[in-house]
A and B are shown apart, each in its own frame.
Chain A
């Protein structure tokens, strides 16, 4: 994962919110490239190339999150407070979590990582039913938390 060109550098993570593109296989797909208003994502003419993130251009707006059909783009904000970070991820389940709710945050494997608080839930017609959920978590779990466990059912 570290060698994936869509992952921001540790230095960039220090500087504020940034996209984190966890796209690791050469599949034919490029909507993320056009999604970015800052032109911070490059796929190129060969659309099976991995998306490359330009950390200097990315301002962490998060628009790309809902445009990725693979739901593989996240937004990371390492220094939200002295002790907490924000992780934003795409969410396509109902019901949506509620802002302010305490949630069990989970890893890429769905395993419990830590408790967190829902900082925001964004929806918009242009998102086409993919919501952006942001959770506030202890800073040390920034690179582990990528979702929340749902109550009831799976």
Chain B
């Protein structure tokens, strides 16, 4: 059985940032990820990131991933890849799969940075080949350099739907429609404008009714919505061979549940997630969370939350003084507040504050 100070599950932006922050203060850190490559979703983010220029804004996502890996390596953080963590048991014992069978590791503190799952729509034809999540299409195009099809209908106009649509265009694929059930575009206007300039049609107050085809997607039927209710007689058919679903994400909380963390339901952050305090500590005092598991946001906030959890866990283990930790944590929280301000961020800031309040009220919602 291995032993470590801090076990981090997930080597995405949150997990790696947590590992770097904790290791900088001397903690022994082990990061485990079921994927064969570290970086989570960062390596398929070929666009330039928003945010503050002090923290990588204007830098393409995959380059931020490269930087995190360099730092991880320099600090000699151990990263096990291709190993799924199956469960967390008593005394912070984690079991994980490896080439040599199931192994165990005992940690003083755990940081769960497991990310989120993409949601899907179950409609007629949604099991046809050619229907996939936006993230899957992005993986095909940006990591494997394979076109999922030649004519894509994107369902959802949040930033994921908008960014992936743009990347489909860059890969030489035609985006025949971006379909949005709400009456307005969900994501950033500047992302939408890239598509507009390329002539991509937006169908607001519309949804996909059904997907038709024999051996794969051939046609997609759209229908207009009135306050999210289909309007009969407004059906229209588009020729397409691919449908991408960008309809939100759900935090992956299974391990947190096993670790006994109390849950809270916050619809605006993706649904059920572990209750946590301002240090990202859950109701299990040995378990911290960071990134999309603590509420679906984006990579910049995930990295800051990871740093916060990493420092808090290292502090709890005595690797840095309370004063020193407070200073670092305050700086991180200030940056998180900035990332969560403005037209799009305020709702997330309010929801995050609500979670911390619930935590201190003993979990009452």
Contacts and interface: CB of A to CB of B under 8 A. Distances in A.
Interface string B53-77: 1000111100000000000000000
Nearest to B46: A129
B295 to A, nearest CB: 17
Chief secondary structure at chain B's binding surface? mixed
B174 A46 contact: no
Contact of B190 (A25, A46, A147): A25
Contacts of A46: 338, 341
B360 interface: no
Interface string A69-101: 111100000000000000000001110000000
Given A71-B194, A153-B173, A154-B175, A27 B57 contact: no
B197 A108 contact: yes
A18 B157 CA distance: 32
B49 interface: yes
B222 to A, nearest CB: 18
B188 A27 contact: yes
A71 to B, nearest CB: 6
B344 interface: yes
Contacts of A11: none
Contact of B341 (A48, A92, A153): A48
Given A27-B344, A28-B51, A46-B341, A71 B190 contact: yes
B97 interface: no
Nearest to A109: B196
Contact of B57 (A48, A69, A146): A69
A146 B52 contact: no
Given A30-B57, A110-B200, A153-B172, A48 B342 contact: yes
B319 interface: no
B343 A48 contact: yes
Given A28-B339, A30-B57, A72-B190, A47 B199 contact: no
Contacts of A47: 51-52, 338
Give the interface centre of B52, B58, B343 by most chain A CB atoms within 10 Å. Answer: B58
B267 interface: no
Contacts of A16: none
B333 interface: no
B191 interface: yes
B5 to A, nearest CB: 33
B50 A111 contact: no
Interface string A113-153: 00000000000000011100000000000000011011001
Given A27-B50, A93-B170, 13 more contacts: A25-B190, A27-B188, A27-B342, A28-B51, A28-B340, A70-B50, A70-B188, A72-B193, A108-B193, A109-B196, A128-B48, A154-B174, A154-B200
17 contacts: A25-B342, A28-B342, A28-B345, A29-B57, A46-B338, A48-B342, A69-B58, A70-B194, A72-B193, A93-B169, A106-B197, A108-B197, A110-B199, A146-B197, A147-B198, A153-B173, A154-B174
Interface pairs A-B: 8 shortest CB-CB: A70-B190, A110-B199, A48-B342, A31-B58, A26-B342, A69-B48, A29-B50, A147-B197
